[in-house]
Structure formats: C-alpha cells, structure tokens
C-alpha cells in the first residue's frame, strides 16, 4: 500500500513536469513561427517590430518553462523509498526470527521504532 502511494505521488510530479515541457515545446513552436513571420515582414519596413517582440517574448517564456520543467523532472521520484525501507526491516526481522537469534532480544523493527521515538526498545512509552 505504501509503495503504491509513493509511486502515485512520484508519477503525479513526473506528469506535471512533463506537461510543463510540452507547454514549453508548443510555445517554442509559436515563437519560431513569429520569428519567421517577423523575418519575412522585415523586408517591408517597421511592420516587423510587433511580431519580433511577441516572438521574442514567447521564446523567453518557452525557455523559462523548459528550465522549470526540467528541474522538476529531475526532482521527481518514482521509486518507493519508504516501502523499500519497510521491506528491508521486515526481511531482517524475519531472518532473525528464523535463525533463532531473536530469543530474549528485541527485533530490528523494535530497535528502529525505539530510535525513531528516542527511547529504549521494549520499554513502555
């Protein structure tokens, strides 16, 4: 259950970052179109300034969206780290119980819980 929740959260962040990259690509295509339009209109005189300014603004906006999307994509985690740690603790505890070393001693899960709560394992909190 914990792994599914972590995977869902990680995939949601990845989807958001990917949508920013798609938006950057679309705006980049519009910017390219405006820049081409301004280059073709520049031959005739000052009519090129409007499309050039709009195209430049869209290009800057596309660059910003691409940088933000890339940084969020790098930060997104899809691996279930908490579930992996829980699984490792469970496996260690089961190994201890099977090998018989757990007689009279606290399990690794009890020790981990005690460390998390700042107390001794096996004592009442």
Give per-residue pLDDT as tens, 46-74. Answer: 677 777 777 788 889 999 999 999 998 88
Place of tokens 């958001």: 16
Q: Take residue 55 and report the two structure tokens written for it.
A: 């195209």
Give residue 97's pLDDT.
Answer: 82
Secondary structure letter of residue 103 according to DSSP: T
pLDDT band at 125 (very low <50, low <70, confident <90, very high): very low
Give residue 93's pLDDT.
Answer: 86
SS3 83: helix
CA angle 97, 101, 107 (to 5 degrees): 60
Domain residue spans of the chain:
2-75, 81-117
Give residue 101's pLDDT.
Answer: 60
Give residue 19's pLDDT.
Answer: 92
pLDDT tens for each residue of 79-120 = 677 778 888 888 888 888 888 764 555 556 666 666 666 655
């Amino acid at each position: 259950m914990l792994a599914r929740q972590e995977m869902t959260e990680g995939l949601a962040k990845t989807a958001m970052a990917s949508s920013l990259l798609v938006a950057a690509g679309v705006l980049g295509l519009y910017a390219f179109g405006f820049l081409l339009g301004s280059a073709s209109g520049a031959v005739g005189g000052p009519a090129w300034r409007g499309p050039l300014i709009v195209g430049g603004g869209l290009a800057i906006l596309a660059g910003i969206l691409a940088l933000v999307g890339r940084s969020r994509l790098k930060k997104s985690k899809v691996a279930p780290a908490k579930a992996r740690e829980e699984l490792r603790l469970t496996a260690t505890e089961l190994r201890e119980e099977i090998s018989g070393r757990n007689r009279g001693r606290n399990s690794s899960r009890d020790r981990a819980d005690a460390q998390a709560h700042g107390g001794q394992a096996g004592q009442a909190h």
